[in-house]
Amino acid sequence: MICPHADCQAPDAGTAISDSELAKLVSNEQMTRIRRLRNQRRAETDSTNFAMCARTGCNLVAQNDAKIERLCVCKCGFVFCRVCRCTWHGVNHCAIKDVGELVEKYRQACMDEAEDGSSKERLYLEQRHGREIMRRYRTCIEEALSLEYIDANSVQCPKSRNQ
């Protein structure tokens, strides 16, 4: 925190004040909120090392395990997956709750990648659910889109009644 006044001429006006100085100026409730928001910002800006605890009501920052990818351990004792935010499921891929929604997200991510070249969402889905599974979904999606295109852009043969 720094002095909010633009006209402040104090020599140390640009330096941050310590937590102990700040605690003298604000209530305990406000200080708790400030600490929580700082931790939340730290988790959001450095998601490779930190994540907000997935346990409801915890609000602590959990540290990502350096040895095991996706593992987060919170000080409250909750151990969870950084990607799906569910209890730790080991090295198994994250559970799929709604296949239809997942397929639609993946299809949209593939279409977005084709348009603007960004594959961030597609890579995230592949990391979360497994590359091979998502590629199988992609094949099914492409086949469904091809059939959809054929139905929309073809005419029935007058003799054989086939498309």
The pLDDT of residue 4 = 64
Tens-place pLDDT, residues 96-137: 677 777 778 888 888 887 777 767 888 877 777 777 777 777
Provide the edge-to-edge strand list for the sheet that holds 50-52.
50-52, 61-64, 71-73, 79-81
Cβ-in-10-Å burial (0-12, 13-18, 19+) of 118 comes to exposed
Q: pTM for the full model? A: 0.48
| 119: its two tokens | 């594959």
The pLDDT of residue 49 = 76
Segments of the chain scoring below 50 in pLDDT? none
The pLDDT of residue 6 = 63
